[in-house]
Amino acid sequence: MADQMTVGMTFEKTLTVTEVLTAGQLHRRGMYVLSTPEMIRLVEHCALEGVQPFLQSNQNSVGTRVDVRHLSATPMGMQVTARCTLVEIDRRRLVFQAEVHDELEKVGEGTHERFIVDAEKQLARIQEKLGRWKAPA
């Protein structure tokens, strides 16, 4: 089904900025605006959830690159929407152009890259890595 994805497909995800998503949770109290890490997470989830229906049951997509600019603050209580447009498909590599808007203006833009991977192979690599790791006592 991944072959049904086409350049130009657009996906959207909207959320309301709550206190847990604000910069006030990260550093200074009183800065109750959408934090940059949460804006990035919104972009990544927009692309992830958008492509998921096109993947086979044995496939996952993993984020490998994010390059964004946070252009303006979005206060707590406002809705913010990420729009991710698929601009390139190179075998298993998917590149998205992302824009993020709050209820008044564009607040972010950039690119996001994902790769389609075999879920069983991915899990095997993770388990092998855990086998080499010595957990702290």
Domain at 2-132: CATH architecture: Roll (3.10)
SS3 135: coil
CA distance linking residue 67 with residue 7, whole number of Å: 19
Give the pTM.
0.90
pLDDT computed for residue 28 by the predictor = 64
Q: What is the arithmetic mean of pLDDT over 75-94?
A: 97
Other Cβ atoms less than 10 A from the Cβ of 90: the count is 9
pLDDT confidence bin for 1, thresholds 50/70/90: low
**Host H or E run for residue 39:** helix 36-51
Residue ranges of domains in the chain: 2-132
SS3 108: strand
